[in-house]
Amino acid sequence: MKRLICFAAVLMVAVLAGCAERGAQSDAQPGAKPAGGNAAPVAVSIDNFTFKPDVVTIPAGGKITWTNRDDVPHTIKSNDGSFTSAALDTDQTYTRVFAAPGEYAYFCSIHPHMTARVIVK
């Protein structure tokens, strides 16, 4: 139940943030199509030593927010070393904007059997 409320709250914030951003954008550039960067972050949870979902596709400029739901710390580290989060303890988050299209494979540097991908189109 707690998690459901949490999820609802996150959804609400995300929707509101999305509205606010779109509002701001349309003020500046009336009629412009919202770019990916202005969309709400896509959520990836870390649960039971698994990135969920393990493959996420977002538009260029899109954001991903990872949230650690486990009782042990995890990290988000790209296979090529181009980005690494700090250690995320329980319920801590890490957000990253993906500006350039491409495929970004990543893993947890503490539990490297945990692997996943971000696809930016």
Partner 1 sequence: MSDRIDRDISNDGIDRRGFLKCMAWVGTGVVWSLSSGGVLTSRAFGEPAPASEAQATASFVQISDSHVGFAKEPNKDVIATFNRAVEKINALPRQPDVLLHTGDLTHLAKAEEFDAVAQILKGAKAGQNFFVPGEHDVFTDEGKLYLERFGRGTRGLGWHSFDLRGVHFVGLVNVANLQPGGLGTLGPEQLNWLKEDLRGVASSTPLVVYAHVPLWMVYPKWGWGTADSEAALALMRRFAAVTVLNGHIHQVLQKTEGNITFHTARSTAFPQPEPGKAESPGPIKNVAADRLRSMLGLTRVDYVEKDHMLAVVDSTLE
Q: Which residues of this chain interact with partner 1, rule CB under 8 A? A: 48-50, 70-73, 75, 79, 86-87, 89-90, 105-107, 109-113, 115
Structure tokens at 82: 């181009």
Bridge partners (DSSP) listed for residue 118: 56, 104
DSSP 5-74: HHHHHHHHHHHHHHHHHHHHHHHHSTTPPPPGGGSPPEEEEEETTEEESSEEEE-TTEEEEEEE-SSS-B
CB of 72 to partner 1, least distance (A): 6
Nearer to partner 1, 35 or 110 (CB): 110
CB of 78 to partner 1, least distance (A): 9
CB of 82 to partner 1, least distance (A): 13
Nearer to partner 1, 55 or 105 (CB): 105
Nearer to partner 1, 29 or 79 (CB): 79
Nearer to partner 1, 38 or 109 (CB): 109
